[in-house]
């Protein structure tokens, strides 16, 4: 039996230069720099989180910045081709002007009745802003943003996954994660998480590009919301029942995680709603210092010496 998730928890991608990455997501897109920590599996690399005021699940795009010369990724099957944030319809002109003023090329289209602005971040990661009038949001406005509250990004709208054939990935969405096919248009199939709500959409498209290669400019994994560790343990069984390999429950300090690569090649994660980003920083101080999990505190000096050069993002 499938479990259900309310939708997306976070999206994690690989960037090049950390400064350029943070300057873009904070200075241009107006997200809050919620957390600066290191990749727990590779402590020589930063792990940045950008989201709403509190880093609410469903608002956070996160990055491992590998360096300017880091191995470039290659587009192909098994990749997330777009991470879409929700905006108000009244904000379409604002965002068009704001992005064009930065020299960013924008593609404008209409999809399932909503206006969609498509563009890429400085590393080539596909982003979209979807103007949807009635969509719900749980994003908390960030008063320190260079973008006024009215126009701020309002959490995730959806992600688009490109796969060689839709069938196997679709069956994981529906049979394991409880999504339902909602609509279909021009080679795009839209699945919605049970119950709907913010960030509950996954679109599938087919590509004949061959398997992609993970690297700078590609998404590393996408995470869905799990209530708590108990539910996560049940998820493990459901993944296994469908013949999928799945990790143990891993403590990521701000949430607990399990990971499973779906047959189309996309790495899925299920992440718990808590404890959240205020576990080691006051909400007013989020992102202001390098935080480390307890088991890396003893190595703080060496870690800081080896991390790439980085200053507070430019707003």
Closest separation in Å from C-beta 89 to Zn ion: 31
Q: Applying CB under 5 A, which part among 13-21, 78-86, 140-148, 265-273 lies near Zn ion? A: 265-273
Which of 46/95 has CB closer to Zn ion? 46
- Residue 130 binds Zn ion, judged by CB under 5 A: no
Closest separation in Å from C-beta 255 to Zn ion: 8
3-state helix, strand, coil in the chain (%, to 5): 20, 35, 40
Q: Which residues are CB-contacts of 294 (< 8 A; sequence separation ≥ 6)? A: none
Closest separation in Å from C-beta 267 to Zn ion: 9
Closest separation in Å from C-beta 51 to Zn ion: 13
The rounded distance, in Å, linking the Cα atoms of 256 and 286 is 19
- Residue 12 binds Zn ion, judged by CB under 5 A: yes
The rounded distance, in Å, linking the Cα atoms of 300 and 231 is 34
Q: Applying CB under 5 A, which part among 7-15, 124-132, 177-185, 205-213 lies near Zn ion? A: 7-15
DSSP strand pairing (267-275 vs 60-65): unpaired
Closest separation in Å from C-beta 260 to Zn ion: 12
Which of 33/268 has CB closer to Zn ion? 268
CA angle 26, 30, 36 (to 5 degrees): 35
- Residue 258 binds Zn ion, judged by CB under 5 A: no
Q: Applying CB under 5 A, which part among 74-82, 138-146, 177-185, 268-276 lies near Zn ion? A: 268-276
Q: Applying CB under 5 A, which part among 4-12, 116-124, 131-139, 178-186 lies near Zn ion? A: 4-12
Q: Which of 162, 223, 246, 258 binds Zn ion (CB under 5 A)?
A: 223
The rounded distance, in Å, linking the Cα atoms of 162 and 180 is 18
Closest separation in Å from C-beta 257 to Zn ion: 6
Please give, one letter per residue, the 3-state secondary structure of 241-298: HCCCCCCCCEECCCEEEEEEECCCCCEEEEEEEEECHHHCCCHHHCCCCECCCHHHHH
* DSSP-derived secondary structure for 146-199: SS-GGGS--SEEEEEEEES-HHHHHHHHHHTS--EEEEEETTEEEEE-TT--TT
Which of 160/272 has CB closer to Zn ion? 272
For Zn ion, the binding residues (CB under 5 A) are: 12, 223, 269
């Amino acid at each position: 039996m499938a479990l259900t998730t309310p939708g997306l928890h976070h999206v994690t991608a690989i960037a090049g230069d950390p400064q350029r990455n943070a300057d873009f997501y904070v200075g241009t897109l107006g997200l809050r720099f919620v957390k600066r920590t290191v990749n727990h599996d590779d402590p020589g690399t930063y792990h940045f989180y950008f989201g709403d005021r509190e880093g609410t699940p469903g608002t956070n795009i996160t990055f491992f910045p590998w360096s300017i010369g880091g191995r470039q990724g290659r587009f192909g099957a098994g990749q997330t081709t777009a991470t879409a944030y929700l905006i108000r319809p009244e904000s379409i002109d604002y965002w068009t002007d704001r992005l064009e003023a930065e020299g960013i090329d924008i593609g404008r289209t209409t999809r399932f009745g909503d206006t969609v602005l498509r563009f890429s971040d400085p590393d080539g990661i596909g982003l979209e802003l979807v103007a949807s009038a009635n969509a719900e949001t749980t994003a908390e406005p960030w008063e320190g943003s260079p973008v006024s509250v009215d126009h701020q990004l309002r959490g995730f709208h959806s992600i688009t996954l490109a796969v060689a054939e839709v069938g196997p990935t679709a069956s994981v969405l529906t049979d394991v994660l409880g999504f339902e096919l909602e609509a279909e248009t021009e080679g795009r199939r839209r699945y919605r998480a049970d119950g709907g709500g913010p960030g509950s959409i996954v679109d599938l498209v087919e590509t004949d590009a061959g398997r992609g290669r993970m690297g700078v400019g590609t998404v590393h994994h996408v995470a869905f919301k799990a209530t708590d560790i108990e539910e996560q343990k049940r998820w493990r069984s459901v993944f296994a029942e469908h013949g999928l390999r799945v990790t143990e429950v891993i403590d990521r300090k701000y949430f607990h995680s399990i990971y499973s690569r779906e047959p189309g090649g996309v790495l899925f994660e299920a992440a718990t709603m808590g404890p959240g980003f205020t576990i080691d920083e006051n909400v007013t101080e989020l992102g202001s210092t390098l935080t480390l999990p307890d088991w890396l505190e003893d190595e703080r000096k060496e870690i800081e010496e080896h991390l790439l050069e980085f200053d507070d993002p430019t707003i």
